[in-house]
Amino acid sequence: MKFMENEIVIDAAEILYKVHSKTNRELVLLTENKAISKKNKELIIEFTEYKKFKGLSDVRILKYFNRLRLMVLKLNKDLDKVNKKDIETLVIQINNSNLSTNSKGEDLAILRLFYKWLKGNDKKYPKEVQDITIRRETKKRAPSEILTEEDILAMLNVTSSVRNKAMISILADSGVRVGELVNVHISNISYTDDGLIQLMVETGKTGGRRVLLIPSVPYLSTWLNHHPLKDDPKAHLFISLDKRNHYGQLSHSSVNMMLHKIAKKINLKKAVNPHAFRRFSATSSSSFMSDSLLMMRYGWTKRQTVSSYTFLNPKEADNSYRKGFGKQELKVKESQLQSVVCICKAVNAPTNDYCNNCGKPLNLRVALSLENKRIKIDEQMNNLIEKKPEILDLLAKMIKEIDK
């Protein structure tokens, strides 16, 4: 985009319509600051527009505007003219600031991402930022803060939207990043020989990878059957159903909002952002996958990331210890998110009461409920016949008419 003052006004108006008002305010602070060169304004806006196009959330866009605006004021130099010495000076200033360790790390990460886009074609980090070390403090989470299968099932049961059911189940099953999820197209879906589904996800962090889906297959299959653009391979898998952005790509904030609304319905007090689902998925998979396999499935490049995402269940540790001494292992509870196979061989979601294929009940509770209803209807019919025997003759005549 060419930088012109009138174009900035137009962009501000568009962003005011599309993103949070705070982001618009940051845009105004950037464009109206005379201490920031036109070139730097142009580069920052182009970078944030590119990230917005790649599906970045409104909150992240706001953060990028704010932090980059403050960085260029410290640099006092056009961003495309900065050398490695300038970057080192800026890094020292950030590390010596009063910000928290995580905030410093976030600033340095934004700086690296900006130059990866500017000088590395968004594929590799250029020499100016390659040596930047980012330190972060990992928050220790209590087991009670991690989502459980019961939480996931409750969220699935409370929503009637087939699209939302598919999103929730895929987030819990695959643990993909929200940016990866909203960028998946229908063409990125493939089927295995045994009826499972693979998602091809792409991310700037580790490139593309295939993620196998199992528990979420019934939900995704149902959504694909209802997808308004199911015959268009270029269409996004998850699209907006709002009138304002009809069939457009979902934003990060839209997914977050959907999850929070559903969690509120069941009074769930835990964190329910996509990251929480990623942690749940990784924790579940860690009980039967090695660290190397977890890194491959979740797109991690560093082994220490595994421990920051997963929480080992004490029962699993006890079972491993029992096994070492030849003791009988405690029975591990089967996953409640496992698909249900009907006697007709059709695969159904665990929240289904009846088979999608043949209509038969899928669990004892529903079967007993149907049987009780049948008994009540039979009793009522018998009572009616006792009071009015002529009904039997009427029914016999109706049956004869049907047979004709």
Stated pTM of the model: 0.61
Kindly state whether residues 74 and 35 are assigned to the same domain.
yes
What type of residue sits at position 246? H
Kindly state whether residues 160 and 50 are assigned to the same domain.
no
Q: What angle do CA 205, 176, 220 make, to 5 degrees?
A: 140
What type of residue sits at position 135? R
Kindly state whether residues 70 and 164 are assigned to the same domain.
no
Kindly state whether residues 182 and 263 are assigned to the same domain.
yes
For residue 211, what are the β-bridge partners? 199
Whether 257 is covered by a domain: the verdict is yes
Kindly state whether residues 41 and 187 are assigned to the same domain.
no
Whether 10 is covered by a domain: the verdict is yes
3-state secondary structure 224-248: HHHCCCCCCCCCECCECCCCCCCCC
Whether 169 is covered by a domain: the verdict is yes
Whole-angstrom Cα distance, residue 296 to residue 207?
11
Whether 327 is covered by a domain: the verdict is no
Kindly state whether residues 212 and 301 are assigned to the same domain.
yes
Neighbours of 176 (CB within 10 A): 26
What total of structural domains would you count in the chain? 3
Residues 213/184, Cβ–Cβ less than 8 Å: no
Nearest to 259 by CA among 349, 141, 152: 152
Whether 309 is covered by a domain: the verdict is yes
Whole-angstrom Cα distance, residue 199 to residue 196?
10
Whether 347 is covered by a domain: the verdict is no
Print pLDDT tens along the chain (404 aa).
433 333 333 333 343 344 456 677 777 788 888 888 999 999 999 999 998 888 777 778 888 888 998 999 998 889 999 999 999 999 999 999 888 888 888 999 999 999 999 988 888 899 998 888 888 766 666 777 889 999 999 999 999 999 999 999 999 999 999 989 999 999 999 988 877 888 998 765 555 788 999 889 899 999 998 999 999 999 999 999 888 888 888 888 889 999 999 999 999 999 899 999 999 998 888 878 888 888 888 888 777 777 766 666 666 666 665 666 576 666 656 677 777 776 776 777 777 777 777 776 766 676 667 767 777 887 787 787 777 777 777 777 777 777 66
Q: Which of 119, 134, 161 is the last residue of a domain?
A: 119
Nearest to 131 by CA among 103, 101, 111, 104: 111
Residues 148/161, Cβ–Cβ less than 8 Å: no
Kindly state whether residues 155 and 243 are assigned to the same domain.
yes
Kindly state whether residues 259 and 152 are assigned to the same domain.
yes
Kindly state whether residues 44 and 170 are assigned to the same domain.
no
> Of all helices (H) and strands (E), which one includes residue 353?
none
Kindly state whether residues 380 and 265 are assigned to the same domain.
no
Which residues form the domain of 393?
A: 364-403
Q: Which of 303, 322, 341 is the last residue of a domain?
A: 322
Paired sense of beta strands 197-203 and 189-191, if any: antiparallel
Nearest to 261 by CA among 149, 380, 168, 346: 168
Kindly state whether residues 104 and 176 are assigned to the same domain.
no
Whether 334 is covered by a domain: the verdict is no
Residues 3/41, Cβ–Cβ less than 8 Å: yes
Kindly state whether residues 18 and 115 are assigned to the same domain.
yes
Whether 399 is covered by a domain: the verdict is yes
Residues 247/232, Cβ–Cβ less than 8 Å: no
